[in-house]
Amino acid sequence: MQESSEQKTSLIPQQKGELLSKQSIVSRSVVKNLIRSAMLAMEKAYTPYSHFQVGAALLTKNQKTYTGCNIENASFTPTNCAERTAFFKAVSEGERNFAAIAIVGGKEGILTDYTPPCGVCRQVIREFVDPKSFLVILAKSENDYMLYFLEELLPLGFGPEHM
Ligand code: THU
């Protein structure tokens, strides 16, 4: 476990002023299961151009998991990231309530570093979650991960409530 003390104590104020701890959203065993699912999903990545494989596992508030991988395209622009694949699969199945997403990635599927979500994926996630409580889990292994609230990765994000 390489969760730093700064990570453990990083609290995001909620609407009524109370503070929420990251580990209160998902237990360690749930985090590990999500990371394992993301690793399995990564094996399905279609990456003939970048060879950079990404896997994601999205947890609903009802404890269901939707996985996704990146799917590249010869025309490059239509490439879909793993996180968006997972979200689009879940939303297209009627899911709207999400708790957390685990993300893993690496060249040829070798996890040498954390893989943070791209800006487009952060915005897509923002559409469907509460940024102050939705957790993004960046992992190198089941025991080596970082936890972030979406709010930390996309401060002052533009969301549906602004429309
Ligand atoms: N990729 C993802 O799947 N998720 C991210 O958030 C970062 C980038 C994919 C897109 C592309 O297939 C490959 O990684 C290299 O950019």
Could you read off the pLDDT of 118-130 as tens digits, one per residue? 999 999 999 999 9
- Which whole number is the average pLDDT over 62-91? 98
The residue to mutate among 58, 79, 103, 136, having the most atoms of ligand 1 within 8 angstroms of its beta carbon, is 79
Alpha-carbon distance 2 to 101, whole Å? 18
Among residues 113, 105, 122, 89, the alpha carbon closest in space to that of 42 is found at 105
Say yes or no: CB of residue 72 within 6 Å of ligand 1.
Answer: yes
Distance from the alpha carbon of residue 158 to the mean position of ligand 1, in angstroms: 22
pTM: 0.91
Strands (E), the chain: 12-13, 19-20, 52-60, 65-69, 98-107, 135-141, 144-149
Distance from the alpha carbon of residue 17 to the mean position of ligand 1, in angstroms: 36
| pLDDT value of position 5 | 41
Catalytic residues: 83
Distance from the alpha carbon of residue 14 to the mean position of ligand 1, in angstroms: 31
